Structure 1
Amino acid sequence: MSEQKNTYNGGCHCGAVRYSVITGHNPPVISCNCSICSKKGSLLSFVPADDFKLMAGKDAVSDYQFNTMNIHHLFCKTCGVESFATGTAPNGAKMVAINVRCLEGFDLDSLEPVKYDGKSL
């Protein structure tokens, strides 16, 4: 039996960046300790690019890449919040990393984040 999917709205702090994403009620979430994630404190869930729709803010984000240059860390130019990032999964599929802390009505207390050792990569 497949998990029920829900649509959530999310975005940055100031509201310039807005999106909707289709994901499960309790999706797998990682807490990464790489050099950028450890500083941001993001909790990330990855979704196929087709399950993500940017509704506002295409011109409101600044792109930052580092290390393997595989992930586009997209920060709001106004408030500095990275509510999502884009990239390519190991299998070549386009994906979006959602900072679930930026989703409206999402139950963060129900999550059990998996620790990911990005620092050692």
Structure 2
Amino acid sequence: MTVQTYQGSCHCGAVRYEVDLDLAAGSGRCNCSICTKTRYWGTVVRPDAFRLRQGEEALTRYPFGSGAAEHLFCRHCGVKSFGRGELEVLGGRYYSVNLACLDDMEPAALAQVPIRYANGRDNDWFSEPAVTAHL
């Protein structure tokens, strides 16, 4: 396990955070309606691994689904750089960081991050959807 600290932000820079990640532990993409439309590519971390450095006041919440996940985006540029929530199946409180919003991540390193696909469209979160190339 190699944990490294990364800097992340939205497009305009109003929201900035720091997160400790082991990218070899993997990431996730799903085919639920919101992840498909936003092309969200996330990885889940415990609250102590995430530090919002700037922009809480710039975050807008989008209430969706069961409310277990807090969908957040920058009210200035519209980018969803992270979300947060609480789900027992994920071990309680969590943050989901959008890997595409890590500022100090090289494309070659991103290409090596393992991806697990989830079938959120059918509420079958622990199964891979039949088609994943578009995710």
Same fold at TM > 0.5: yes
Measure, in 2, the Cα distance between the counterparts of 1:85 and 1:67.
14
Aligned to 1:99: 98
SS at match of 1:81: coil
Gaps of 5+ in 1: none
Q: TM-score, normalised by structure 1?
A: 0.93
C-alpha contact 2:60 2:72 (8 A) present in aligned 1: yes
Gaps of 5+ in 2: 124-135
Root-mean-square deviation over aligned CA pairs? 1.2
Aligned to 2:71: 73
Matched ranges for 1:1-40 at <5 A: 3-40=1-38
Please list every run of at least 4 consecutive aligned residues from structure 1 whose deviation after the TM superposition is greater than 4 angstroms.
Answer: none
How many residues in Structure 1 have an aligned counterpart in Structure 2? 119
Measure, in 2, the Cα distance between the counterparts of 1:55 and 1:28.
24
Q: TM-score, normalised by structure 2?
A: 0.84
* Structure (1/2) with the larger helix percentage: 2
SS at match of 2:24: coil
Aligned to 1:90: 88
